[in-house]
Amino acid sequence: MKNNSTPPAVIVSANNLLAQAKLEKCSLCGDRSFLLSQDAKGRPLARECSCREARKKVVLFNNAKIPSRYHDATLDNFYDINLPKIKLALTKAKEVIKLYQTNYKKRIPDLGKGLLLYGSPGTGKTKLACAILRTITLDYGIPARFIEFVQLLNQIKRGYDTGEPESNFLLPLVEVNVLLIDELGKGRKSEWEGSILDQIVSRRYAAQKTTIFTANYAVTKKTINAADKGDAPSLLAERIDTRIFSRLSQMCHFIDMDMQDYRKNMPEMVEMKKN
């Protein structure tokens, strides 16, 4: 029989490069994850403590490898922002989370679309995406992973030097339930970079895995911020292969978050709500 008492609180902090979650000490079991008692005949009994499931969720959050900069990113951060694009993005994020959580509970293959959050830098795309990963892992116990695309490329290049195959880096990203690829389109636009992205996108597309992307490039010319116009390509389709872009349109809801840079106009992008 499981114990239904409230588990200890989860504390999330910035730990060097990554966000790190931990549980407060459990007053019920002393962090053993089970409770000892006796039956009517005095025989010892062990039952699972309510903190055990919470500990599993903490491990999933830490395995997601969310950058420390976004350790405090939650969906609550966005509720008080009275901007139409933010409200739409938040609504769609909650829909994606709810659908995925329902499918996961019922052991239904993941048929839900992910998100492509696109627009100029500083509009909260990565923060919202990380808030989604936090909700998925800590609230619902679903495995997820964050990766910044150029960082992945650098990891693979270092692996070449030590004889480590690409598959060691790519397979975990292909297989994880929910993947967040940050800074899509960033890089030198080389054939090799395109092949790495194609492997991840194509295999997740075939497996119907939920994927979230962020990109600092517009999807159409109508959504290009006037301040970002210049000689460099401003469309995402110009930064990645057209076949990959076509796959994205089938895998994701495209969410326009192109607006003013919060970092230039506000001390903080969001004022945290008081508990």
E-strand ranges in the chain read 10-15, 18-23, 34-38, 44-48, 114-118, 144-148, 178-182, 210-215, 252-256
**Average confidence score pLDDT of the chain:** 85
Q: Is the pLDDT of residue 5 over 70?
A: no
Name the more confident of 83 and 192. Answer: 192
Q: What is the mean pLDDT of residues 18-41?
A: 82
pLDDT tens digits, residue range 132-164? 999 999 999 999 999 999 999 999 999 999 999
For 5, other C-beta atoms within 10 Å of its C-beta total 14
For 188, other C-beta atoms within 10 Å of its C-beta total 9
**Residue 90 CA to its chain's centroid (Å):** 14
Give this prediction's pTM.
0.84
Phi-psi region of 119 (alpha: psi -120 to 50; beta: other; left: phi over 0): left
User: What is the pLDDT confidence band of residue 225, given thresholds at 50, 70 and 90?
Assistant: low
Q: Give residue for tokens 């990113």.
A: 73
3.10.20.30, 3.30.413.10, 3.30.70.1450, 3.40.50.300: CATH of 64-265: 3.40.50.300
- Please tell me the number of Cα atoms within 13 Å of 271 on its side-chain side: 6
Amino acid 126: pLDDT: 96
Query: What ranges do the domains of the chain cover?
Result: 10-54, 64-265
52 exposure class (CB count in 10 Å sphere: 0-12, 13-18, 19+): middle
User: What is the pLDDT confidence band of residue 224, given thresholds at 50, 70 and 90?
Assistant: low
- What is the pairing mode between strands 34-38 and 144-148? unpaired
For 248, other C-beta atoms within 10 Å of its C-beta total 23
The answer to whether the CB of 199 falls within 8 A of the CB of 163 is no
For 128, other C-beta atoms within 10 Å of its C-beta total 28
**C-alpha triplet 185, 258, 217: angle, nearest 5°:** 15
Radius of gyration of the chain (CA): 21
pLDDT tens digits, residue range 161-215? 999 999 999 999 999 999 999 999 998 889 999 999 999 999 999 998 999 999 9
Amino acid 30: pLDDT: 75
